[in-house]
Amino acid sequence: MKKQTTLAGMFLVLGAITFWVSWLLMPDPGTTDTKHILEIVKQSRTAVIWSVTIQILSSVLYAIGLLVLVRTINTQKKTFTGVLLFAIGSMGLCADAFFHLLAWFMTDNSVTIQEDVVRIMDFMQQEALILLIPILLPLFFGAWIMASGLRIQLLVSKLPAYIIAASFIIGIASAIAGNIQGGSLPVPIIATLGIFAAGQVLTGYELIKRDTAITK
């Protein structure tokens, strides 16, 4: 049982690290301008395909970590709610990777019908997002709720939930400031995602650390 808690923590740590690396490789993350996306993806096709692959891997690592965690500990209501939302979010994370994969393919030299390419990407960045966002957002809220629940169960400290909450505050504040300044974000999205990932890394690390302390 103790080994399984360590295993769950390890998968969460690896999931968070690969999550951030996948976004680090993606050029200009967060943009929704179709023509700009096609331009930057075409300039960084190798990095983008690696980003897609690692993002899919991240969603798999998250899913395994959450399943092991639920199997290992007696999750209380708040923790289970967080795990459930996090699991839905990991599905959204995987689906989002295929959005990026489509953009990667659309910038291949063999794709020449540019007007149709832009129409397809417009659809993916507008109508299709209506389907993606409801299953992607739970990743962020679920991580915070799960960390808060684990804190109540005395399995981790308050710090992971605080760090994740800080990423929300920074992200929202940056978005508001960016709109006021005409699109220039004071804090880059990649930095905000890095803070969010750090909170998850700490969640997994504290699960591992607690297990090690108990074993000793």
Chain mean pLDDT for the chain: 89
pLDDT number for residue 212: 61
What amino acid occupies position 46? T
Residue 186 has pLDDT above 60, yes or no: no
Domain ranges of the chain: 2-215
Model pLDDT for residues 71-116, shown as the tens digit of each residue: 998 889 999 999 999 999 999 999 999 999 998 998 888 877 677 7
pLDDT band at 34 (very low <50, low <70, confident <90, very high): confident
pLDDT number for residue 183: 54
Residue 184 has pLDDT above 60, yes or no: no
Orientation of helix 77-106 relative to helix 2-25, angle to 10°: 30
Largest CA distance in the chain: 64
CB-CB contact of 207 with 12 (8 Å): yes
Model pLDDT for residues 107-137, shown as the tens digit of each residue: 888 877 677 778 888 888 888 989 999 999 9
pLDDT number for residue 193: 94
pLDDT number for residue 180: 66
165 versus 107: which is more confidently predicted?
165
116 versus 156: which is more confidently predicted?
156
Q: What are phi and psi of 44, to 5 degrees?
A: -135, 45
3-state helix, strand, coil in the chain (%, to 5): 85, 0, 15
Q: Which residues of 72-108 are buried (b: 16+ CB within 10 A; e: fewer)?
A: bbebeebbbbbbbbbbbbbbbbbbbbebbbbbbebbe
What amino acid occupies position 150? L
Lookup result for tokens 């301008």: 33
